[in-house]
Structure 1
Amino acid sequence: MSCELKSVFAGLPQMERGVAKVIGGDPKGNNFLYTNGKCVIIRNIDNPAIADIYTEHAHTVAVAKYSPSGFYIASGDVTGKIRIWDTTQKEHILKNEYTPFAGQIKDIAWTSDSQRIAIVGEGREKYGAAIFWDTGSSVGEISGHSKLINSVDIKQSRPFRLATGSDDTTSSFFEGVPFKFKHSRHDHSQFVNCVRFSPDGNHYITAGADGKMFIYDGKNGEFISALGGEKAHNGGIYAISWSPDSSQLISASGDKTVKLWDVGAGTAVTTFHMGTEVSDQQLGCLWQKEHLLGISLSGYINYLDKNNPDRPIRVIKGHSKSIQCLTVHKSDGKPYIYSGSHDGHVNILLLNYSTSPASHYWDAETGENDCFRGKGHSNQVSRLAINEEEDLVTCSMDDTLRFSNINKKEYTASDVVKMDSQPKSVSVAAGGLSLAVCIEQVVLLKDKKKVFTLDNLSYEPEVGVLHPGGSTAVVGGKDGKIYLYSVQGNTLKDEGKTLEAKGPATDMAFSNDGAYLAVIDDRKVATVFTVADGYSVKGEFYGHHAKPVSLAWSPDNEHFATGGMDMMVYVWTLSNPDKRMKQPDTHRLHHVSSLAWVDENTLVTTSHDASIKQWTLKY
């Protein structure tokens, strides 16, 4: 048995309100990159479904930038550590690692010969440094600011010049190399969020939280003019990005717009209105070849259309927070992945079988990567399932169950069931049945309504599942026992039958044909019971080094997969417990929080890295 990574559906940028998001682009114009948690995510700009994730940082990564040669990426984290790594090899070999100052790195810039790097941020004693990439030795001093530096850029033509923007409301200009402070400018009245040189080096522009932008001479740093007159935007400006020919630029603002500017005329040519919600604030932007990207507070990546400023060409949606659960459902023969995350967001992803290089890809271009409209869960989505009526049934830490029709893709208030306590898991079966296991309660629902509640239990329920036929409800307790209840009409009847697991159950599932029940427990054992034989033990499966937490049956009912806190995924063979497939480091930074089967040769996994991975299995 073997397992091969087929596709990576990457998470979105992790955003923070009022904080600029730096988006990098490769010099050839093929890729763009951003950060989420401890990951640096590289995506193809023409087909964003082609993605690569760098996971070697020990702490949250704040910024990443390509070298002008395209051979290296420098990425900096919140502790002040910068890692310089290779882009040409799949392994991304580390070239060097430095800590130029202690504190969050906010921005990075390279000289055009890819020899020197400027790093700025929130240091304790200093706010910036300029070093050789290969030795770490200093190539000047970045000084002149009294507060953290938000942004840095270097003129890409000789003689080199460097500019910075700071929370102290000033921008500074440096000559070099070695870089030496020349002067400061006090034109902004609030934080300077971004500073960028034009590709030809003739100008640089600063953008601030005061909604203003100023143009300066790229060679001597002298003031030229204000771009857009008194105010360029009605809100703070967080990012700017120049066109390759240096004649235009785009600016991203908290006023929920991105503007396209003619720099020579000093006027906005086009205003892209991105929406009316707080989540539509624009905190980042990138001009890469003919693509104009705007990054929303929601994390959505918007491909802007110059000919239709009110409707992006495409919007890359997804998760920006850790994914807790997923399931696969086929509509019209096409497999869709439904995933729920820590922030209550539910995403829909189509696996589109094509002949493209991505093979099975996230079909963002046709809008098939989508989410439910309206107000959904206000807290973590813990589990989800899809019933016969094609409702997505979700349980959340906001103490509710939701039934959302997957064809309408819309949340409605009428489909919310309030629970007495926090639900931990949900399961569905034939006949409109749903089973919710809550803290100290087990609740049976029929046709989206509570019909029976088991409370005052002698055990603490952890997870529950309904037999596909709807005849039996099985609940795993913290005491290591599995409790069986028969479903009789609208009630659960305790038949007095229990099964013994090795420890408290963490997940359980019936096989698709209902013939077997698999249970995983915190003693690292998977146990399979034969339903027709009075739930006798069919087999016990050992291999995990830490607690397994997720379980899913293959459509062939002969294999099932488990994911554990040991960051391993095992695929087990029912007829032979010794025949197994082990996949270590499925998601490098976190354990697999959930997994599901697309078909008997395709497994999808997800984790707290906000990404979904698709694997091809060979038996």
Structure 2
Amino acid sequence: MPYELKHVFASLPQMERGQSKVISGDPKGNNFLYTNGKCVIIRNIDDPVIADIYTEHAHPVQVAKYAPSGFYIASGDTSGKVRIWDTTQKEHLLKYEYQPFSGKIMDIAWTEDSKRIAVVGEGREKFAAVFLWDSGSSVGELTGHSKLINSVDVRQKRPYRIVTGSDDTTAEFFEGPPFKFKFTLKDHTQFVNSVRFSPDGAHFATAGADGQIFLYDGQKGELVRSLGGDKAHNGGIYAISWSPDSSQLISASGDRTVKLWDVDSGSALTTFSFGSEVADQQLGCLWQKNHLLSVSLSGNINYLDKNNSNRPIRVLKGHTKSIQCLTVHKGDGHSYIYSGNALTRMLSLTLCAPRWDSENGETECFSGKGHTNSVCRMAVNQNNELVTCSMDDTVRFTETSSKDYSGDVVKMDSQPKSVSVSSEGVSLAVCINRIVLLKDKKKVFTLDNLDFEPEVGALQPKGTTAAVGDAEGKIHLYSVCGGTLSSTEPLLEVAAKLTDLSFSPDGAFLAALDEHKVLTVFSVTDNYAVKGNFYGHHAKPVTMSWNPDCEHIATGGMDMNVYVWDINDEDKRIKLPDTHRLHHVSSLAWLDAHTLVTTSHDASVKQWTITY
């Protein structure tokens, strides 16, 4: 194969304030999984860079759970569909698909023999169902609740029991199979967010928005005690998870803490405190072998240290929303990937701009207050500054070594669409109805009152020439001299509106992408004569990147495909089909001559090895 997927830097869980997030593990303890949009993400718990993404749901997925056998995963989406799919093969073949009710699936639980599945959520006529995994036949009725059911769990030994927790402030206890309503548990005063049986089946616990955790007998459903006295947390509790030996459990709360409990005494052994921001609320947790994980409202996944409650062992960071752009940079002996996303609507105005280590996937996010709207384009200049333009009408210069938004901000007179840099310290910002030249982090020249609508711009690497593509398919060339822009010949034309424009690293070629799915390469040294027209995309291409060898160029588009073109042979190309499957390729860049990085609206970053 001329291409191979090298790394997947997966998205974080997509979070919602006031909504618990289910993360679960496989029975062998090697992997954990969670959901983001229409994706189910499976990650190795010891090495989270090892990741796999399941993308076959047509609607956003709420929850996914391994069967106790480990051979299958059941995942449920917002339409009420439950898909049961294979885990042993890369293709994740679908085994069965059911729709137990019409509405959002909130939680799923298997019986220990991997033959029965209980699902709960927000249905129109019913809120829960329990059925055989291979036929869909009902094995009981889970009735009694009057509102959305948030959580369900099954006792992992016979006799089987099911417990559910609901927004109606109650938990219901069922015996079976076939499963029948036994009685209602009314100890909580607010929403019941999480219910979980201990692995040995001796107990189950319920946790609610009232900050309380109650412990019950696993077979009879009788109340044993509450944990922490009158209140386990000062805020609502969104998730609980048992230790493998059933002697302890952890709880995640909106009070920005995770607590480790001794079940016999009902007392907290350790309290893990996070920051003071809303984003530090803890909405999910998982105890997997020796790993204790929690999920923050920001989406960060925290590996907790039982011996040190002051700081996590590690924190997995990244994106929870679609990635708009990326760039690459080498420094400190490492290759780094920078990515920018759309503004999240739930948190503060700080825009996440992670820096990924290209080898191990370790991620650092810039701290402080960044852009207040979507980042459109980014590049790294010769001063090792990350230059970004945003829909907040600014161009920002951020030192890559500082890792925080303490750099200079240049306010534009209109919204910037693209930004490019040269080796001479010059930057070019193409904005609505104007072109702006910047030097030393200041505006030095502006062209406005244009007779065309600029869409995208590019600076020649040495900064002597600027190219600006417009909405009519014309490319305007400017000479850059003395901090000014002077129009120069020739006026270039392509088939349609420009979507991207870029000079080759050696400045010998100019490549243009247009909405008519054509890549046009001009030879700069031959007075911009057309070197070649490259066809292949069957939907609008939106991004491109020159290979460092200046002989290949990669393009990505709305058809979800990436093509790597040989500019010396129009018929020679490498096709990477369905690069991100669910969404189009939003940006791409080369780490080196054989390593291509792509991003998409699935919030993941992928590395590909290309062989010519």
**TM-score with structure 2 setting the length:** 0.98
Instruction: Summarize the alignment of residues 25-174 of structure 1 with structure 2, pairs less than 5 Å apart.
Output: 25-174=25-174
Task: Give the corresponding residue for 2:515.
Answer: 522
Instruction: After TM superposition, give the deviation of residue 496 of structure 1 in Å.
Output: 5.1
2:427 to 419, 428, 434: 434
Task: Give the corresponding residue for 2:393.
Answer: 399
Q: Match for 1:211: what amino acid?
A: G
Give 3-state SS (helix, strand or coil) of 1:468's partner: coil
1:489 to 482, 488, 502: 482
Q: Residues of 2 paired with 1:177 and 1:525: CA distance?
A: 62
Task: Give the corresponding residue for 1:336.
Answer: 336
Task: Give the corresponding residue for 1:264.
Answer: 264
Give 3-state SS (helix, strand or coil) of 1:578's partner: strand
Instruction: After TM superposition, give the deviation of residue 154 of structure 1 in Å.
Output: 0.3
Instruction: Summarize the alignment of residues 541-580 of structure 1 with structure 2, pairs less than 5 Å apart.
Output: 541-580=534-573
Q: Are 1:537 and 2:533 an aligned pair?
A: no
CA contact (8 A) 1:102 1:123 kept: yes
Q: Residues of 2 paired with 1:443 and 1:139: CA distance?
A: 68
Q: Residues of 1 paired with 2:382 and 2:257: CA distance?
A: 42
Instruction: Summarize the alignment of residues 392-471 of structure 1 with structure 2, pairs less than 5 Å apart.
Output: 392-412=386-406, 415-471=408-464
Q: Deviations over 1:293-346 (max 9, x none)?
A: 010001001000111111100001111111111111111332100010112321
Q: Are 1:276 and 2:270 an aligned pair?
A: no
Give 3-state SS (helix, strand or coil) of 1:122's partner: strand
Give 3-state SS (helix, strand or coil) of 1:383's partner: strand
Q: Are 1:609 and 2:602 an aligned pair?
A: yes
Instruction: After TM superposition, give the deviation of residue 37 of structure 1 in Å.
Output: 0.5
> What is the Cα-based RMSD across aligned positions, in Å?
0.9
Instruction: Summarize the alignment of residues 200-215 of structure 1 with structure 2, pairs less than 5 Å apart.
Output: 200-215=200-215
Task: Give the corresponding residue for 1:355.
Answer: none
Task: Give the corresponding residue for 1:349.
Answer: 356
**TM-score with structure 1 setting the length:** 0.97
Q: Deviations over 1:253-281 (max 9, x none)?
A: 00000000000010000000121111110
Task: Give the corresponding residue for 2:347.
Answer: none
Q: Residues of 1 paired with 2:138 and 2:221: CA distance?
A: 23
Q: Residues of 2 paired with 1:410 and 1:345: CA distance?
A: 11
Task: Give the corresponding residue for 2:243.
Answer: 243
Instruction: After TM superposition, give the deviation of residue 536 of structure 1 in Å.
Output: 1.1
Q: Match for 1:596: what amino acid?
A: A
Q: Deviations over 1:161-216 (max 9, x none)?
A: 00000000001100010110011111111100000000111111100001011111
Which 4+ runs in 1 deviate beyond 6 A?
A: none
Task: Give the corresponding residue for 1:384.
Answer: 378
Give 3-state SS (helix, strand or coil) of 2:279's partner: helix
Q: Match for 1:555: what amino acid?
A: P
Q: Match for 1:51: what amino acid?
A: A
Q: Residues of 2 paired with 1:233 and 1:417: CA distance?
A: 45
Q: Residues of 2 paired with 1:310 and 1:397: CA distance?
A: 38
Task: Give the corresponding residue for 1:592.
Answer: 585
Give 3-state SS (helix, strand or coil) of 1:532's partner: helix
Q: Match for 1:17: what amino acid?
A: R
Task: Show structure 2 runs of 5+ residues with no match.
Answer: 344-350
CA contact (8 A) 1:111 1:156 kept: yes
Q: Match for 1:348: what amino acid?
A: R
Instruction: After TM superposition, give the deviation of residue 535 of structure 1 in Å.
Output: 1.1
Q: Match for 1:533: what amino acid?
A: D
Instruction: After TM superposition, give the deviation of residue 39 of structure 1 in Å.
Output: 0.3
Q: Match for 1:499: what amino acid?
A: L
Instruction: After TM superposition, give the deviation of residue 430 of structure 1 in Å.
Output: 2.4
Task: Give the corresponding residue for 1:357.
Answer: none
CA contact (8 A) 1:345 1:381 kept: no
Q: Match for 2:412: what amino acid?
A: M
CA contact (8 A) 1:79 1:105 kept: yes
Percent of aligned pairs sharing the same letter: 70
Give 3-state SS (helix, strand or coil) of 2:49's partner: coil
Q: Residues of 2 paired with 1:24 and 1:588: CA distance?
A: 24
Instruction: After TM superposition, give the deviation of residue 567 of structure 1 in Å.
Output: 1.0
Q: Residues of 2 paired with 1:510 and 1:121: CA distance?
A: 53
CA contact (8 A) 1:68 1:110 kept: yes
